[in-house]
């Protein structure tokens, strides 16, 4: 167990600090190169924001060229004031082959691009710059595979974030006032998160899933089906963003679930906690306890080699025996997973879901979120972030897990 406390709940020194960045980035480049080697790929061209954060330590506008046999080289559009040993200014991608040769780097034979991230026209323009190269779209999958096994430094980022995240949640009772709507309380929670250093940005892989910082779901709104693949839905306040709070009053006898993205340093920690307006019916506490049992059981048994679908099935078994299967992970439209990898994006590998044969490996970090939605009451359950260690799981998010009662 780690209990690292920073004075103001702020993130540790940023990754761009020159003294640590080089070895950390080299380790990450090495992980990508191992996967490239297996596929006979001799260069990667990386240009999406999250993969640039991963490989360069920051967002830039430009292209990171990662060859197998030479140091990574950044071809940089902006900011136009950055300099470095392996940094070359560039205006447009058509300059790439000429600049590579000017840097003494041979043109690649088999190069991967981020095919699941780059828009179709952007991909084709980049590929056309390399007419004699075999260009493959597997860059997204391969870098995401590398990213799914976190370095020690990355796991430390999560530990620091979790401290700030827990501090913000601990103050939720202090900003709640009886008679608030779900939206009003969510605004105060957003402020608590921001004051602890949350950057606000919530990065999701894939174009279509959008959310603002996270969600607060109360009462029957938690069961409202959404277009997004998040664990629970919510109607939202506008059809242009149909998820989360829907501006209805928080009523006595209802539960609410707070589920915000903990992005304090680029890494999205994930944690949900449940609050009640006054007391809830007895069955809500029972259902909550069942979710805690799912968590306890998986935390006790999961370890490197555990198969994701077996962990999912274990959860379903516990929930079914307790009689909650109809309300588990939603009612009308149910989420078909109980956990998901987290990192620079909220949805990374592994996914704890049916038919997922992937096994846990040391360095994976995931959110486990068994949740039950009770008609007429609202959501209960738990979500924490976990790291896979050599021995089992390490809980990253430390914050009381019982339902917190707020005054009616």
Q: Which residues bind its own copies (CB under 8 A)?
A: 11, 14-16, 47-49, 53, 57-62, 77-81, 113, 115-124, 137, 140, 184, 187-188, 190-191, 194-195, 197, 199-201, 207-208, 210, 212-213, 224-229, 233, 237-242, 265-266, 332-333, 344
Which three-class secondary structure state does DSSP give residue 181?
A: strand
Distance CA 298, CA 310 (A): 10
Q: Which residues pair with 276 in a beta bridge?
A: 255, 405
Q: Please, what is the minimum distance in Å from the beta carbon of residue 18 to its own copies?
A: 12
Closest listed residue to residue 335, CA positions, set 296, 384, 370: 370
Q: Please, what is the minimum distance in Å from the beta carbon of residue 17 to its own copies?
A: 9
Per-residue buried b or exposed e for 188-197, using 16+ beta carbons within 10 Å of the residue's own CB: bbbebbeebb
Comparison of 55 and 295: residue with beta carbon closer to its own copies: 55
Distance CA 82, CA 71 (A): 18
Comparison of 141 and 313: residue with beta carbon closer to its own copies: 141
Comparison of 14 and 103: residue with beta carbon closer to its own copies: 14
Instruction: Please return the burial class of 171, using the count of CB atoms within 10 Å of its CB with bins 0-12, 13-18 and 19+.
Output: middle
Q: Which residues fall within 8 angstroms of residue 232, CB to CB, at 6 or more apart?
A: 215, 217, 222, 223, 257, 259, 329, 330, 335, 371, 373, 379
Distance CA 393, CA 30 (A): 25
Q: Please, what is the minimum distance in Å from the beta carbon of residue 115 to its own copies?
A: 5
Closest listed residue to residue 41, CA positions, set 10, 67, 71, 77: 67
Comparison of 60 and 166: residue with beta carbon closer to its own copies: 60
Q: What angle do CA 238, 263, 9 make, to 5 degrees?
A: 125
CA 55 to chain centre: 17
Distance CA 48, CA 46 (A): 6
Comparison of 263 and 276: residue with beta carbon closer to its own copies: 263
Q: Which residues pair with 272 in a beta bridge?
A: 259, 383
Q: Please, what is the minimum distance in Å from the beta carbon of residue 191 to its own copies?
A: 5
Q: Cβ atoms within 10 A of the Cβ of 22, count? A: 10
Comparison of 320 and 333: residue with beta carbon closer to its own copies: 333
Classify the C-alpha dihedral 154-160-163-167 as positive or negative: negative
Comparison of 239 and 305: residue with beta carbon closer to its own copies: 239
Which ranges constitute the DSSP H helices of 149-254?
152-170, 172-175, 182-195
Comparison of 207 and 390: residue with beta carbon closer to its own copies: 207
- 184, 325, 380, 381 from 250: Cα distances, Å: 10, 26, 15, 18
Comparison of 47 and 295: residue with beta carbon closer to its own copies: 47
């Amino acid at each position: 167990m780690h209990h690292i406390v920073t004075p103001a709940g702020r993130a540790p020194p940023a990754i761009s600090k020159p003294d640590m960045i080089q070895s950390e980035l080299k380790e990450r480049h090495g992980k990508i190169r191992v996967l490239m080697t297996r596929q006979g790929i001799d260069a990667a061209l990386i240009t999406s924001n999250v993969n640039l954060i991963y490989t360069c330590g920051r967002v830039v506008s430009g292209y990171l060229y990662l060859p197998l046999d030479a140091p990574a080289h950044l071809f940089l559009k902006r900011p136009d004031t950055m300099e470095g040993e392996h940094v070359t200014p560039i205006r447009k991608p058509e300059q790439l082959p000429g600049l590579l040769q000017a840097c003494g780097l041979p043109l690649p034979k088999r190069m991967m691009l981020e095919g699941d991230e780059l828009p179709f026209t952007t991909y084709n323009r980049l590929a056309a710059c390399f007419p004699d190269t075999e260009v493959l779209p597997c860059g997204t999958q391969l870098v995401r595979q590398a990213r799914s096994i976190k370095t020690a430094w990355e796991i430390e980022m999560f530990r620091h974030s979790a401290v700030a995240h827990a501090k913000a949640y601990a103050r939720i009772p202090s900003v709640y006032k009886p008679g608030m709507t779900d939206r009003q309380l969510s605004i105060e929670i957003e402020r608590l998160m921001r004051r602890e250093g949350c950057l606000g940005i919530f990065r999701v892989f894939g174009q279509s899933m959008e959310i603002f910082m996270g969600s607060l779901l109360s009462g029957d709104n938690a069961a409202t089906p959404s277009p997004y693949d998040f664990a629970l839905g919510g109607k939202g306040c506008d059809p242009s963003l149909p998820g989360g709070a829907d501006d209805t009053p928080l009523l006595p006898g209802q539960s609410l679930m707070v589920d915000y993205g903990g992005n304090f340093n680029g890494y999205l920690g994930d944690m949900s906690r449940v609050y009640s307006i006054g007391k809830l019916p007895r069955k809500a506490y029972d259902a909550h306890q069942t979710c805690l049992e799912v968590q306890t059981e998986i935390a006790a048994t999961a370890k490197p080699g555990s198969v994701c679908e077996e962990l999912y099935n274990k959860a379903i078994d516990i929930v079914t025996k307790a009689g909650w299967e109809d309300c588990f992970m939603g009612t009308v439209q149910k989420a078909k997973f109980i956990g998901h990898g987290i990192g620079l994006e909220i949805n990374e590998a592994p996914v704890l879901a049916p038919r997922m044969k992937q096994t846990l490996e040391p360095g994976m970090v995931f959110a486990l979120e068994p949740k039950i939605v009770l008609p007429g009451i609202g959501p209960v359950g738990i979500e924490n972030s976990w790291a896979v260690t050599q021995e089992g799981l390490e809980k990253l998010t430390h914050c009381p897990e019982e339902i917190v009662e707020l005054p009616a």
